Structure 1
Amino acid sequence: MGRRPQPHIKERLLDACADHALSHGLPDRLEPLATATGTSARMLIYHFGTRDALLRAVLGRARQRQLDTFGDLLRARPGEPYTATLHRAWKSITGPEGQPYLRMFGQLRESAEQQLWPDFRRTATTDWLGPLEDGLRGIGRPELATLVLGVIRGLLMDLDATGDTARTERAFRDFLGFLDTASTPPPTASSAATLST
């Protein structure tokens, strides 16, 4: 009678594989993951079935970590302007905490590894809309979520291509200034009359 799969071991292996992939990129062979987990390629196949199944599981675990971390950063906080929340999230996404995710998922978008997650590009876009809509609802502008996401994604692509942190940071701060203006309610007729007197 063969051994039964042990879920706690599989979870530990998956976490170690995700740690390695975030630090070094997603490998095209099992050996680097086996070395990182202190086991063998054969044992990884035993727990995950195939190489591609393991790599898909690694991507899924890394993506969940990213969603948990940055989803929390995008959550509105009582008493804090949402543009300040967005700026803190931007600093984290583009800083050391966010770089491993940008590298891994940038690699996934640009390579044949898309076959591991064929719907990744759509998912990687739409799964941020909910947290942004919730946050922007606090300033009465949830419909701006697509615009905010488009600016963030565009500036991340710019940063990846140029490495110009100062310029992209300045551009994002300028955008937040526009967003502050967009969230300011237009003056009422009575306040406009008062201003004109």
Structure 2
Amino acid sequence: MGRKAQPQIKQNLLDRCTEYALAHGLPDRVEPLAKASGTSARMLLYHFGTRDDLLREILRQARQGQLDMFTSLLKPRGGEPYTVTLERAWRQMTSPDGQPYLRMFGQLRESTGQRLWPGFKRIATTDWIPPLEEGLASLGRPELATLTLAVIRGLFMDLDATGDKTRADLAFTDFIGMLTCDGPDRSTPS
């Protein structure tokens, strides 16, 4: 007779493995995760199946943490100009609390990560459009949600590649300034 499933043990292991992966990236082997979670590789495989199954669970949990944090930051706040909300969101997303998510999911966009989470690029490209549309509607510009997301994601990639936070921060501040300018007149063809 096998052991009875103990979901609280599995969740505790997943929490520790996710913390490790956010701090150090996804490892090629199970052993670093086993050490970080205080168990053996055999026990991790017992609870999660395969190494790839464990990595997928880590990615799902980390992604949910990122979605919760970033979506909350991007939601409009009553009485606050949305540009102020965006500036605060940018500071938080690029802070030490947000950077582990940026590193992890930047790695996932690479080809090796695509086998762990097929379709991730598409999901990650569209999941923040609704809160951005809602917030930008307060500026009368909900149609700028895709552009705003593209700028944010592009600056995330720039920051990851160069580490030049000052330059990325200045570029984001410049972009925020452009959001309050009148956009192109879409009523007449160009």
> What's the TM-score, normalizing by structure 1?
0.89
2:12 paired residue number = 12
* Matching of residues 5-154 of structure 1 within 5 Å: 5-154=5-154
Q: Which amino acid aligns with 1:110?
A: E
Instruction: Tell me the CA shift for residue 113 of structure 1.
Output: 2.4
Moved more, 165-174 or 30-39: 165-174
1:189 paired residue number = none
Which consecutive residues of structure 2, in runs of 5 or more, have no partner in the other structure? 184-190
Matched, 1:177 2:177: yes
Q: Which amino acid aligns with 1:39?
A: T
> 1:73-103: per-residue Cα shift (whole Å, max 9, x none)?
1111111110110011111111211111111
Aligned length: 183
Computed over aligned residues only, the root mean square deviation of the Cα atoms, in angstroms, reads 1.3
Q: Which amino acid aligns with 1:62?
A: A
Structure with the higher helix share, 1 or 2: 1
Corresponding residue SS for 1:9? helix
CA distance in 2, matches of 1:57, 1:182: 45
Instruction: Tell me the CA shift for residue 142 of structure 1.
Output: 1.7
CA distance in 1, matches of 2:4, 2:158: 48
CA distance in 2, matches of 1:40, 1:181: 57
Instruction: Tell me the CA shift for residue 24 of structure 1.
Output: 0.8
Q: Which amino acid aligns with 1:174?
A: D
> 1:161-192: per-residue Cα shift (whole Å, max 9, x none)?
22222222111111111111248xxxxxxxxx
Calculate percent identity across the aligned residue pairs. 67
Distance 1:182 1:8, change over 3 A: farther
Q: Which amino acid aligns with 2:167?
A: R
